[in-house]
């Protein structure tokens, strides 16, 4: 890679309606990857990124209980590891989930495998399994949500089983060198927290070594909520030391903090989200010490395909830095 900077995965809601199956969605206008039509639609997009020299991984996710019946096929309840629902708020209304039966879980694992194959067929360089931020995999991982009594609940090993089965299935399908996974063990997004987040993160980091995947991507402990940063003595350093492959850190980094994380061997790569969205030439700006465009939070989750998405200027407007 040319630098240590990667673009963090950012929820996209500007597409025609990346999830493995229709029952995996909640947010409107999120892209899919479960049909051959999706594969064909992605190909020119992937080609465009490759033409600019980019490396492009497709993040595949399932929202689990973070949904409502209006977004589910035939108005069915959303599925989860539990039947405990999320509390609705002024922005989102959540429906009570249906607890997955034990014999249904292999089918969900297979949905991730199929999505990964479709992503590779579309030309993506790899896939990132979304195991963070309160969505389905995270719901299985966290003891504040997972109340199962079968082999997918209870002990730390059991709660991690679903995630690791997906890693294994996807790695077997497309090759481990094309697979990454993202976790947020310290976060409490969508009411999804854990009583021992460091133990959870450490177990996952160690368990992943068995599969030889491309990278492990974790969210910093200071980002316990989506848009707030907390001061904490906890860190990802134990997980970084435990994982034997490439380690990516994300969560509110500045240029200086990113440099320090790499210099002190706390991370191999640093993911930037909001700064990268507002600065399409972020690595170049960092290199030159140039001023950064300020991001506009009010446009983050709007449907316009240009405003707040592709209209932030380069250092030299209209010129590619590739």
- Whether the per-residue pLDDT at 207 is higher than 90: the answer is yes
The whole-number pLDDT of residue 16 equals 43
- 92 pLDDT exceeds 90? no
pLDDT computed for residue 32 by the predictor = 86
On whether the pTM is more than 0.85, the answer is: yes
Question: CA of 145: how far to CAs of 19, 64, 148, 176, 308, in Å?
Answer: 22, 12, 9, 29, 34
pLDDT at 224: 52
Q: Which of 135, 152, 189, 312 is catalytic?
A: 135
The CA-CA-CA angle for residues 116, 224, 235, to 5°, reads 90
How far, in Å, are 84, 216, 251 from residue 180 at the CA level? 29, 6, 17
Mark whether 215 is an active-site residue.
no
Domain topology for 5-272: TIM Barrel (3.20.20)
Task: Record the tokens describing residue 189, joined without a space.
Answer: 């997004």
- At residue 8, the pLDDT reads 92
Per-residue pLDDT band for 306 (boundaries 50, 70, 90) equals confident
DSSP state of 160: H
Specify whether the CB–CB gap between 221 and 197 falls below 8 A. Answer: yes
User: pLDDT over 70 for what percent of the chain?
Assistant: 88
Q: Residue ranges of the domains in the chain?
A: 5-272
At residue 71 the predicted structure's pLDDT band, cuts being 50, 70 and 90, is confident
**Residue 267 reports pLDDT greater than 80:** yes
Q: Give the Cα separation of 64 and 284 in Å (integer).
A: 38
pLDDT, greater one: 251 or 103: 103
Give the mean model confidence (pLDDT) for residues 175-199.
96
| Cβ contact 156:200 at 8 Å | yes
Average pLDDT over residues 259-266: 96
């Amino acid at each position: 890679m040319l630098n240590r900077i990667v673009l963090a995965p950012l929820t996209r809601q500007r597409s025609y309606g990346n999830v493995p199956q229709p029952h995996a969605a909640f947010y409107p206008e999120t892209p899919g990857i479960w049909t051959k039509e999706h594969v064909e639609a992605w190909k020119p997009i992937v080609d465009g990124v490759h033409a600019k020299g980019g490396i492009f991984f497709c993040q595949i996710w399932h929202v689990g209980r973070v949904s409502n019946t209006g977004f589910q096929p035939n108005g069915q309840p959303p599925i989860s590891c539990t039947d405990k629902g999320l509390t609705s708020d002024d922005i989102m209304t959540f429906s009570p989930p249906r607890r997955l039966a034990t014999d249904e879980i292999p089918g969900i694992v297979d949905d991730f495998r199929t999505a990964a194959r479709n992503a590779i067929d579309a030309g993506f360089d790899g896939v990132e399994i979304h195991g963070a931020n309160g969505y389905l995999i995270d719901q299985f991982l966290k003891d504040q949500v997972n109340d199962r009594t079968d082999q997918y609940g209870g002990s730390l090993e059991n709660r991690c089983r679903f995630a690791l089965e997906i890693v294994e299935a996807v790695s077997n399908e497309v090759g481990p060198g094309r697979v990454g996974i993202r976790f947020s063990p310290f976060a409490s997004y969508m009411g999804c927290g854990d009583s021992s987040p460091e133990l959870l993160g450490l177990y996952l980091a160690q368990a992943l070594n068995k599969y030889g995947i491309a990278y492990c991507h974790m969210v910093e402990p200071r980002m316990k909520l989506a848009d707030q940063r907390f001061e904490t003595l906890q860190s990802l350093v134990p997980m970084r030391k435990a994982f034997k492959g490439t380690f990516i850190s994300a969560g509110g980094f500045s240029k200086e903090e990113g440099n320090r994380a790499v210099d002190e061997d706390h991370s191999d790569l640093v993911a930037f989200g909001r700064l990268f969205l507002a600065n399409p030439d972020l690595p170049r700006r960092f290199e030159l010490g140039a001023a950064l465009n300020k991001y506009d939070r009010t446009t983050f989750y709007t449907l316009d395909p240009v405003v707040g998405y592709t209209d932030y200027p380069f250092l030299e407007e209209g010129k590619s830095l590739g």
